[in-house]
Structure 1
């Protein structure tokens, strides 16, 4: 165990060619990988192995995944992306090295068909919308470098950071017995609290589990919504889908992310949150879904606004200085891959 930053390095290869609509890049549609499936990614990518340079790793991945021969000397640096998310696991603390080339031998084809739904050449001027977020950041540098007039010849910064300004705020209405629901529906109807929720979250990003989405029944206007579900085929209008907490946070990006339920998602995120917005409800409904215990050694109350009727008040908690020292240390028990 260590609290020091641990890097998981990966190398990404952009094969480029001239097409009828300008420079094209080869992308793969991820499938069956368990991470960012259904999104477009670089044609070849993977972890840098022990004792291996990033350029050698890129050439090896091009051979293993696309069946093409690449000379490391022909690979040019595009961007380095230093990224994380608001959970503390080694696989989410990464340095990604992006390179490109116009020279290779052989015809690219997917050698890992179980992980690739499609391999396609895309014009840099018409990239798909659903690209893995950190890979899109590197492709944007490539666009500025390769597309005439895109940035007046200036590719801009090539050292990019993502996720370091991500902050988690848990928002919940909690009964006097700690209950927040019965797993299927809200245990109360509180118009005053609904207005508070709308004021607080409008313009922001909501992160929720599938059960919470079902209890709401739709995407809320004026907010971006990311839903975590284990069901690979699930989709709904207005929802971005993730299949793990880490994937959801990678989609959310920098800034404040409002975690709005349910109980399992609260439990997974409270140790990584910086703020809690809790509506205290003067009811004790039955139900098996509860909000996690708020440990006074970790959290300090910084604001309390009185309510009326069944709403006792709105309480803001912030992580205390002592709580910062109690943030989880990084465990090697991680399994997802973003490469």
Structure 2
């Protein structure tokens, strides 16, 4: 088994008291390549080699906000350990959240390419698009007494209870479509898809969304696209699979296509729900091979012209 490694990062939770209660300073992320257009802690960044985390958060405050803070002015409040079912060391995180208040000086955006806005928000009323793992921490801190140097930090986790289920309809030749539409019309299978995913979270690529043409009711739909300008009613937008899975949270996530998204997630999946269709349509988009060494058939429901089959990953 490969050695486990993590990426450490330090976050500054800067608060103040107002007539409306406790407020927290958040920045609107700019062109950072990650969670762009989402609200996040006022300053944050990776801990550099040989650098204590409390010094790292003070360095980030100086670089991003123009504030001079000493390690004695911050308190470690929360340690968040994050994982991602996709694996890889860059997705294994230890996030160290430091709180501070009554800091001298006026915070300002000093790296305008990375932050579009800087604003105080009521801790009890965070903006809708707050980075999910940071929202988790801020909601935990809501109503908590301000920690002092003797307060023991709390450990939170995220991503370790998430599972991936790939759901698809596949022809005998492995084809699932032509990149724009499904090669068959099976009303019974559409009803099965609805029953199976209702109330859940779906992740899909832009092409799959376009082939459906709308948000499906009763489900969260997260669409992965490289287009930074794209949006659609009823869709939550992510610009990478790790972003999409972070947004999805610790739950079963249904991967609904297309071919590239299936390819990138099947190794991390624990369940496959496959409609095997007794047809061999032409088309360039295929489903990854289902290796019987890795997958065992758990159930099969034979219908007229197709079968619903559930596969579970072998331990």
TM-score normalised by L of structure 2? 0.96
Alpha-carbon shift at residue 303 of structure 1 (Å)? 1.0
**C-alpha distance in structure 1 between counterparts of 2:223 and 2:38, whole Å:** 16
Task: Map 1:50-129; keep pairs closer than 5 Å.
Answer: 50-129=49-128
What is the alpha-carbon distance in structure 1 between the residues aligned to residue 234 and residue 194 of structure 2?
17
Cα offset, 1:34, TM superposition: 1.1
Contact 1:23-1:146 at 8 Å conserved across structures: no
> Quick one: distance in 2 between partners of 1:80 and 1:121?
23
Q: 1:271 aligns with which of 267, 270, 277?
A: 267
SS of the residue aligned with 1:99?
strand
SS class of match (1:189) = coil
- Kept in 2, the 8 Å contact 1:78–1:138? The answer is no
Matches within 5 A, 1:183-222: 183-222=179-218
Work out the number of aligned pairs and report it.
311
Deviations 1:109-160 (A, max 9, x none): 111101111100111122112110110111112212159xxxxxxx998211
State whether residues 262 and 287 of structure 2, in contact with CA within 8 Å, keep that contact through their aligned partners in structure 1: yes
User: Aligned equivalents of 1:144 and 1:286: distance in 2?
Assistant: 59
Tell me whether 1:4 sits opposite 2:3 in the alignment.
yes
Q: Deviations over 1:231-283 (max 9, x none)?
A: 00101111100000111011011110000100000000001101111100011
Distance 2:2 2:143 in 1: 37
> Conserved in 2, the CA contact under 8 Å of 1:70 and 1:103?
no
Q: Is the 8 A contact 1:75 1:100 kept in 2?
A: yes
The whole-number CA distance in structure 2 between the counterparts of 1:251 and 1:156 is 28
Q: Which residue of 2 aligns with 1:316?
A: 310
Q: How far did 1:318 drift? A: 1.0
Q: Does 1:245 align with 2:244?
A: no
Partner of 1:235: 231
Give the whole-Å Cα distance in 1 for the aligned partners of 2:158 and 2:267.
Answer: 21
Select the residue among 297, 300, 303 that pairs with 2:299: 303
Q: 148, 154, 158: which one pairs with 1:158? A: 154
Q: What is the 5 A alignment of 1:274-293? A: 274-293=270-289
Task: State the secondary structure of the residue aligned to 1:300.
Answer: strand
On the 8 A contact 2:77/2:153 being kept in 1, the answer is: no
Tell me the distance in 2 between the aligned counterparts of 1:192 and 1:123.
48
Specify the alignment match of 1:177 in structure 2: 173
Q: Is the 8 A contact 1:207 1:260 kept in 2?
A: yes
Q: 1:318 to 1:156 in 2, by over 3 A?
A: farther
Alignment check: 8 A CA contact 2:271 2:311 kept:
yes
Asked if structure 1 preserves the Cα contact closer than 8 Å seen for 2:297 and 2:311, the reply is yes
Partner SS, residue 169 of structure 2: strand
How far off its partner does 1:4 sit?
A: 2.6
- Structure 2 partner of 1:37: 36
2:163 aligns with 167
| RMSD (Å) for aligned C-alpha atoms | 1.5
Residue by residue over 1:284-305, the C-alpha shift from the partner in whole angstroms, topping out at 9 and shown as x without a partner, is 1111000001111111111111
Query: What's the offset of the Cα at 1:53?
Result: 1.2
TM-score relative to the length of structure 1: 0.89
> What secondary structure is seen at the aligned counterpart in 2 of 1:241?
strand
Equivalent position of 1:331 in the other structure: none
The answer as to whether partners of 1:109 and 1:119 remain within 8 angstroms in 2 is: yes
Question: Where does the alignment leave 5 or more consecutive residues of structure 1 unmatched?
Answer: 148-154, 322-339
